[in-house]
Amino acid sequence: MRAMRTLQFEIALTALLAAAAAGAQAPPQQPAANVPPLAGHVSTPDAPMPQLRHAEDTNTQPTREAVSGLTPSFLHFAGPFRAPTVPQLFAGDATRLKSLVRDGKLYLSLQDAIDLALENNLDVETERYNIVLANADTVRAAGGGNIRGIDFSVQLPPNGVGGPGSPLLTADTTNTNPTAPVVTDLTSLNSTAQQTQSLAETGAGLTYSLGPNIPLFDPQIIGDAGYLRRSDAVVLGGSTGSGITASDPEPADFTTLNVSYLQGFSTGAEVEAIVNNAAQVSFAGGSQLNPFHSPTTSVTLTQPLLRGFGRGVNLRYLRIANTDKKISRLLFEQQVMNTIFGTSRLYFDLVSLGENVRVKQDSLRAATKLREDDENQEKEGTLAPIELTRARALESASSFDLIQAQGLYRQEEIILRNQLVRAASPVFQAELGSFTEVVPTDTINVPDSLSALDVPSLVTQALARRPDLAQAQLQVETGKISADASRNNARPQLNVYGNVQTRGAAQQPYEALGSAGTGIPATPQELSFGGQKVSTIYQAGVQLNLPVRNRVNESDAARDAVQLRQVQARTEKLAANVRQDVETAVVALETAQAAYTTARESLNFQSQLLDAERDKLTVGQSTEEAVLQNEAYVAQARSTEIAARSNWIKARIELDYALGDLLEKNHIELDDAIKGTLP
């Protein structure tokens, strides 16, 4: 009878092993999507979605990083001459962190981790300053200066101890069982490994020419006053033919004054108004200490007709600065996306590594119980000493695996913590000492099956939502502005001018208007020189500067047009990469879903095999060595299932990243992130 039961048990076990092997070798239940090939040309949408338009046009400014005194109030005369005040670097806010600490542990949900990172992460803080820099450039350009530019780099948090793929899960036993696959790193199932730094500037390394001079939009007042004594002077004029009649034996004392006012306008026109007493000082017969007794005045209006003509070319820096303000907000949104993406990966790595620690703890408890049982049997003389040695070796190996798993968990804790708080800031010193462990409260839940993913519609969504693509398109616009200025600078310089002088005889000189974007004018020396004592002078004319071959400006115009084509090509390539990101992320998610399904089935089969082996041991048909081996296989299968779940959530996050909707998925408002005050 016992032989019959044993035969039935072996038949059932053989069938179970066959079913397990078939399940392990069967193809995944969720096949990869039939993704169409990449098109030869990827066009970008003309009208971004509303949230992206909001990112471009919102005027929200950082609250703690804003510069005061950059734009003085109306009629505040001393304001422009006071240095603007830049607040100290924000030290962080520990209020949210304090509320999450209980019993010496930091209980952290994914939403809490993201909120802490957006409030305190230094990469996010640096990008807030980029918005302030763009605003400062706008003020500079409005005064007639060129722009100094913004930083186009955005950062990604570190990968963590698990790398860009799944967390590192150690395998403690060489696996010869086909039903218990060992997966220590599922990186190959992810789409593309992320870089630690992403450069979002499609115009990187390209410098456009300066173009025509910029009018001085900020009025300039230039004045000097002083005292001089004139002696041994001669009087010009007379009828002797020599032009000199006699010497003036008496010295003459004068107070000299020269005041000039310059201002430019967006059409390229510029006004020069001058008051001085140069003619009086040069030709008066006696002392005169009052500089306004008979001053010379001169007013000149000059308007370019070719080079430097028009609001488009003269307001180019202001237009670029306003576009850079939009770009800075899109770059900030990209940084927020990167921070959410990296923080989520680190968080779920910590979740997976914590689950792996529990697997190792269970294995150690089982090994310890086995060793204790074997010790009791060995004392009773019913167990060979070699079996006790084997149990002790298993316990030692399990203890080592647990130590290693705990070490990986602690390392991941440190990496995640440093993304959420500023360890060097005194604001966090007390709070960092209030907890010794980070406890993630969210878990990874993988659905039984994925809903159908419409790849073409997902690509269209990504093209409309991705902030890196939107800011690249804006860089094309700034390139067009600079290229238009280069073409304008290749034209001849033709100016029309009108001049009115009193008590002067100087001719209208040829001089370059405006500045090269520095906001500093050259003093108009010729017009302030004065002349003979004559009546009011009216003069007008045309000034022409005609380079015969003009090779320098023509070369600049051609080079800038070529560089613009390079930026356009890079932008189109970025659009193609967006489609590639979505396609590969979809494949990665579906592959991760199939891998998880297979790993879960493998764990189920391996658990059944372990139960069967234990049943065989009770009837004397197996050995403790076989049971121990199957227990090791179950532990490996549990670790593999954890790795598969970790890889699935990373693939899900990466798809959201590729689609550009991480802020929406995690309930983050861009304006709140800019201000640094999340609800």
Its pTM surpasses 0.75 = yes
Tens of pLDDT, residue by residue over 63-74, are 888 888 777 665
Domain assignment of residue 383, yes or no: no
Cα–Cα distance, 296 to 531 (Å, whole number): 9
Confidence of residue 318 (pLDDT cuts 50, 70, 90): very high
User: Could you tell me which of 603, 450, 602 has the C-alpha nearest to residue 25?
Assistant: 602
Quote the pLDDT of residue 513: 67
The answer on pLDDT for 310 being more than 80 is yes
Three-state SS for 545? strand
Whether residue 652 sits in one domain with residue 530: no
Confidence of residue 367 (pLDDT cuts 50, 70, 90): confident
Whether residue 464 sits in one domain with residue 587: yes
Least confident of 147-156, 604-613, 616-625: 616-625
Whether residue 46 sits in one domain with residue 16: yes
Whether residue 96 sits in one domain with residue 38: yes
Cα–Cα distance, 502 to 522 (Å, whole number): 23
Whether residue 614 sits in one domain with residue 670: yes
Spell out the residues 6+ positions from residue 249 whose beta carbon is closer than 8 angstroms to its own: none
Contact 514, 216 (CB under 8 A): yes
Domain assignment of residue 180, yes or no: yes
Cα distances from 154 to residues 126, 244, 512, 661, 672, in angstroms, run 9, 75, 41, 17, 19
Give the up-direction half-sphere exposure of residue 323: CA atoms within 13 A in the CB hemisphere: 21
The answer on pLDDT for 632 being more than 60 is yes
Whether residue 523 sits in one domain with residue 451: no
Cα dihedral sign, 576-578-579-580? positive
Domain assignment of residue 576, yes or no: yes
Whether residue 501 sits in one domain with residue 445: no
The answer on pLDDT for 47 being more than 80 is no
Domain assignment of residue 561, yes or no: no
Whether residue 38 sits in one domain with residue 178: yes
Q: Which CATH number fits the domain that encloses residue 325?
A: 1.20.1600
Whether residue 171 sits in one domain with residue 106: yes
Three-state SS for 93? coil
Q: What is the mean pLDDT of the chain?
A: 80
Domain containing residue 186 = 2-69+88-211+315-354+401-481+566-675
Whether residue 436 sits in one domain with residue 287: no
Tens of pLDDT, residue by residue over 18-28, are 333 333 333 33
Give me the sheet containing 101-102, strands edge to edge: 101-102, 105-108, 437-440
Quote the pLDDT of residue 207: 86
Instruction: Region of 222 please: left (phi>0), alpha (psi -120 to 50) or beta.
Output: beta
Residue 104 CB neighbour total at 10 angstroms? 10
Domain assignment of residue 130, yes or no: yes
Domain assignment of residue 555, yes or no: no
Residue 205 CB neighbour total at 10 angstroms? 7
What are the two backbone dihedrals, phi and then psi, of residue 102, each rounded to the nearest 5 degrees? Answer: -145, 130
Whether residue 16 sits in one domain with residue 133: yes
- Average pLDDT in the 606-610 region? 90
Number of independent structural domains in the chain:
2
The percentage of the chain sitting over the pLDDT mark of 90, rounded to a whole number, equals 37
The answer on pLDDT for 249 being more than 70 is no
Whether residue 652 sits in one domain with residue 581: yes
Domain assignment of residue 659, yes or no: yes
